Amino acid sequence: MKMNALVKLKPEKGLVLMQVDKPTPGPGEVLIKVHKSAICGSDVHIYDWNDWAASHVKPPMVIGHEYVGEIAELGEGVTDYQIGERVSGEGHITCGKCRNCRSGNIQWCKDTNSVGVDRNGAFAEYVCIPASNVIRIPTNLPEDVVAMFDAVGNATHTALMFNLIGEDVIITGAGPIGIIAAGICKYAGARNVIITDVNDYRLDLAKRMGATATVNIARESLEEAMKAGGIVEGFDVGLEMSGNGGAFNQMTGAMRNGGKISLLGLGNAPITVNMNNIIGKGLTLQGIYGRKMDNWHQMAYMVQGGLDLSPVITHRFHYTEFEKGFEAMHSGMSGKVILNWED
Ligand code: NAD
Ligand code: ZN
């Protein structure tokens, strides 16, 4: 049996929509019929074939790791799921044996295998993953939103690392994940959620998502936004979501003594850091990688509880129009882009 899939066929720019073998679930695996998928920044890197992609992906490879679908087939020994159940999947397949896996900290596994990077992914009519990575999805959640839950999980992991209730939060970088994080911080009880970027289109999306103020650092003052929000000693919590060294140093400069920072953004190159801010202020820094399994519950329940993530979805295309989706991502004038894999 064949299926349609978006394939990185050769080590060069672009993706090819082509027929490939429909995967067969092995022992302990399930086959998922994909309904919708979302384009991640890393999919754009793979499309562009930048240095990161060239060192991580071995073509030919079906890419994509953000999706929602239904169980289509069960491999040998899988008894926990039923055909037709609505599911998504944790995209990091962890070893299950290392010290962190055995402590339940799978986000720190020393041997992670990524769906759509190291093994065939979800920009396809079907994707095959281990049953232990399947996430059951309540049927009252909108599929467009669940399609991007992998990214929402990054935002949830970063945002909920430190207490937010009554706190003043700065987010640097209003990419899709920063925009989603703004919504989560407000939902979780933060007082001020101030987000910075250089892109007005994205800052506007963050405002619609719940940011209390936006700062275009190319022409606006962070200090004035802090003053307007009644912030006297600095931010309590910082979420770095740009990968930009300048943004990180601006953040550490604006934190209060004893403030806490979660770091998600990954830049292309090493950055120079102002250690005086970090040491003199006694800041706590926490690196964030992927998601904790518990984040899947938290995001589903936040959406059920009324967190509206739909403002970040700006484009929807049928998978046959995937080039338009990548164009929207490249333009910078986009939040999340959803691809529909059904007719
Ligand atoms: P993105 O690249 O779409 O967004 C980054 C945003 O930062 C852009 O809108 C950009 O204009 C803005 N920016 C650039 N310089 C800035 C500055 N000086 N001040 C403020 N903003 C600035 O990225 P995304 O998809 O939203 O992801 C956010 C970050 O998280 C990226 O760096 C990505 O690589 C990283 N990421 C990490 C993990 C992880 O597991 N650690 C997972 C997913 C994404
Ligand atoms: Zn492990």
- The dihedral region occupied by 151, where left means phi > 0, alpha psi between -120 and 50, and beta the remainder, is alpha
Is the distance from CB of 281 to CB of 273 less than 8 angstroms?
no
pLDDT per residue over 202-251, tens digit each? 999 999 999 999 999 999 999 999 999 999 999 999 999 999 999 999 99
**CB 242 near ligand 1, within 6 Å:** yes
Peptide linkage before 176 cis (omega within 30 of 0): no
CA–CA dist 262, 264 (Å, integer): 7
Within this chain, do residues 27 and 95 fall inside the same structural domain, yes or no?
A: yes
**CB 241 near ligand 1, within 6 Å:** yes
**CB 81 near ligand 1, within 6 Å:** no
Nearest residue to 335 (alpha-carbon basis) of 322, 320, 307, 316: 316
Within this chain, do residues 125 and 164 fall inside the same structural domain, yes or no?
A: no
Q: What is the CATH number of the domain that holds 52?
A: 3.90.180.10
Within this chain, do residues 163 and 125 fall inside the same structural domain, yes or no?
A: no
Nearest residue to 237 (alpha-carbon basis) of 172, 292, 147, 152: 172
Within this chain, do residues 45 and 129 fall inside the same structural domain, yes or no?
A: yes
**CB 172 near ligand 1, within 6 Å:** yes
Q: What are the φ/ψ torsions at residue 293 (nearest 5 degrees)?
A: -55, -35
Is 212 a member of any domain?
yes
Is 303 a member of any domain?
no
Q: Domain range holding 263?
A: 155-287
Q: How many domains does the chain have?
A: 2
Record the pTM: 0.98
- Tell me, what's the pLDDT at 318? 98
**CB 17 near ligand 1, within 6 Å:** no
Residue of minimum CA distance from atom 39 in ligand 1:
289
Within this chain, do residues 137 and 39 fall inside the same structural domain, yes or no?
A: yes
CA–CA dist 342, 318 (Å, integer): 8
Q: How far is the CA of 45 from the centre of ligand 1 (A)?
A: 13
Within this chain, do residues 107 and 180 fall inside the same structural domain, yes or no?
A: no
Residue with tokens 């397949």: 93
Q: How far is CA 114 from CA 10, 64, 90, in A?
A: 19, 10, 9
**CB 175 near ligand 1, within 6 Å:** yes
Residue with tokens 């994707």: 127
pLDDT, average across residues 15-35: 98
pLDDT per residue over 52-96, tens digit each? 999 999 999 999 999 999 999 999 999 999 999 999 999 999 999
Is 98 a member of any domain?
yes
Q: What is the DSSP letter of 208?
A: H
Ligand closest to 330 (CA) is 1
- Tell me, what's the pLDDT at 268? 86
Residue of minimum CA distance from atom 17 in ligand 1:
247
- Tell me, what's the pLDDT at 307? 98
Q: How far is the CA of 104 from the centre of ligand 2 (A)?
A: 9
Which atom of ligand 1 approaches the CA of 267 most closely?
A: 32
Q: How far is the CA of 111 from the centre of ligand 2 (A)?
A: 5
If you write DSSP's letter for every residue of 271-317 in order, what string do you get? Answer: ----HHHHHHTT-EEEE--S--HHHHHHHHHHHHTT---GGGEEEEE
Within this chain, do residues 187 and 316 fall inside the same structural domain, yes or no?
A: no
Within this chain, do residues 278 and 253 fall inside the same structural domain, yes or no?
A: yes
Sheet holding 193-197, edge to edge: 213-216, 193-197, 169-172, 235-240, 255-263, 284-287
Q: How far is the CA of 36 from the centre of ligand 1 (A)?
A: 23
Q: Is the pLDDT of residue 343 over 80?
A: no
Q: What is the CATH number of the domain that holds 168?
A: 3.40.50.720
Within this chain, do residues 61 and 30 fall inside the same structural domain, yes or no?
A: yes
CA–CA dist 270, 265 (Å, integer): 12
Token pair, residue 203, equals: 């800052």
Q: Is the pLDDT of residue 144 over 90?
A: yes
Is the distance from CB of 101 to CB of 94 less than 8 angstroms?
yes
Is 8 a member of any domain?
yes
Within this chain, do residues 45 and 162 fall inside the same structural domain, yes or no?
A: no
- Tell me, what's the pLDDT at 245? 97
pLDDT per residue over 110-136, tens digit each? 999 999 999 999 999 999 999 999 999
**CB 161 near ligand 1, within 6 Å:** no
Ligand closest to 105 (CA) is 2
pLDDT per residue over 257-308, tens digit each? 999 999 999 998 899 999 999 999 999 999 999 999 999 999 999 999 999 9
Is 182 a member of any domain?
yes
Q: What are the φ/ψ torsions at residue 144 (nearest 5 degrees)?
A: -60, -40
Residue-averaged pLDDT of the chain: 97
- Tell me, what's the pLDDT at 99? 97
Is 295 a member of any domain?
no
Q: Is the pLDDT of residue 154 over 90?
A: yes
Is 297 a member of any domain?
no
- Tell me, what's the pLDDT at 66? 98
CA–CA dist 102, 86 (Å, integer): 28
Is 241 a member of any domain?
yes
Ligand closest to 222 (CA) is 1
Within this chain, do residues 135 and 84 fall inside the same structural domain, yes or no?
A: yes
Within this chain, do residues 78 and 44 fall inside the same structural domain, yes or no?
A: yes
Q: What residues are neighbours of ligand 2 (ion), with CB under 5 Å? A: 94-95, 98, 101, 109
- Tell me, what's the pLDDT at 331? 97
